Amino acid sequence: MIARGVTRLGARQGRVAALGVLALSLLTVSGCNLVAFFAMAADKTIPKEVDAMYAGLVGKDFAVVAMTDRMVKADFPGVVPKVISDVSERLAQEKAVDASGYVPADRVMAYLYSHPNWVVRPMSELATALKVQRLIVIEVTEYRLNEPGNSYIWGGVAAGIVQVYEADSPLPDDPAFDRTIQVQFPDGTNTGRDQVAGNVVGTELVRRFVDRAVWLFYNHEEPKDLKY
């Protein structure tokens, strides 16, 4: 009887021990998953280093000009002046660009308005007129707030081409740098007018477009989960 009792007690203790080991294993696995989860979440907040794609503004003076087609200009007349102003000021204020000087946006705009045929003339002439060594030309090839034919759902897109002309190079009328950029907003789908105002969509599109334009010219940090 004593032997059978000892046997039953030992089996019961064995089952308890086994359950304890299983619980500990599950806790360990869950702990590992939690650690991995928080590590991944933290990793997304660590910005990534991105090198400049064109570093030729160092020690040079520059001017920024922009253009777009008639439809965009008619529907959104403030886009081109805003792009010229924001890109000029951002590059002038960024220490990493290390330019020697620049032409303020109001002076650039005054020249462009008084010389509307500048777009068909050699870029070297424009650089000479603005007295700069580097001419940044931004063509806004697309700018819209919603999908064509759907005015109820926002689907903003801003796209363009960024070029740099080097007035002091042997080929001042050929772009020394050429890059296409594109951004979108809102990030999700089915965002309607009752959720976000049109001016918010337009403002954010230009901000993102300008970010992508200026980031081409200096080493910078970008969030890993950046949506544009």
Question: Can you give the CATH number for the domain in which 187 is found?
Answer: 3.40.50.10610
* DSSP class per residue in 22-54: HHHHHHHHHHHHHHHHHHHHHHHHSPEEE--S-
From the list 214, 220, 221, the residue with the least C-alpha distance to 92 is: 214
Tokens for 35?
């650690």
92 and 16 in one domain?
no
Which DSSP letter does residue 184 get?
E
98 and 170 in one domain?
yes
Tell me if 172 is assigned to some domain: yes
Tell me if 188 is assigned to some domain: yes
Burial of 91 (0-12, 13-18, 19+ CB in 10 A): buried
Predicted confidence at residue 155, as pLDDT, reads 94
Cα–Cα distance for residue pair 138/112, rounded to 1 Å = 14
Q: What is the pLDDT along the chain (228 residues), one digit of tens a residue?
A: 334 443 343 444 555 455 455 444 544 555 555 455 454 555 667 899 999 999 999 999 999 999 999 999 999 999 999 999 999 999 999 999 999 999 999 999 999 999 999 999 999 999 999 999 999 999 999 999 998 888 899 999 999 999 999 999 999 999 999 999 999 999 988 899 899 999 999 999 999 999 999 999 999 999 988 989
Tell me if 228 is assigned to some domain: no
Predicted confidence at residue 27, as pLDDT, reads 44
Predicted confidence at residue 153, as pLDDT, reads 92
165 and 79 in one domain?
yes
Predicted confidence at residue 2, as pLDDT, reads 36
Q: Which residues contact 73 (CB under 8 A, 6 or more apart)?
A: 79, 80
Tell me if 136 is assigned to some domain: yes
Tell me if 117 is assigned to some domain: yes
160 and 83 in one domain?
yes
Predicted confidence at residue 31, as pLDDT, reads 54
Predicted confidence at residue 5, as pLDDT, reads 40
Tell me if 227 is assigned to some domain: no
195 and 119 in one domain?
yes
Tell me if 60 is assigned to some domain: yes
113 and 42 in one domain?
no
163 and 135 in one domain?
yes
Q: What are phi and psi of 5, to 5 degrees?
A: -65, -40
Tell me if 112 is assigned to some domain: yes
173 and 212 in one domain?
yes
Cα–Cα distance for residue pair 70/68, rounded to 1 Å = 7
pTM recorded for the entire structure = 0.80
Domain count of the chain?
Answer: 2
89 and 21 in one domain?
no
23 and 74 in one domain?
no
Write out the residue range of the structural domain in which residue 174 sits.
50-222
Q: Are 142 and 159 in contact (CB under 8 A)?
A: yes
188 and 92 in one domain?
yes
Tokens for 159?
């796209």
Q: How many CB atoms lie within 10 A of CB 145?
A: 19
113 and 38 in one domain?
no
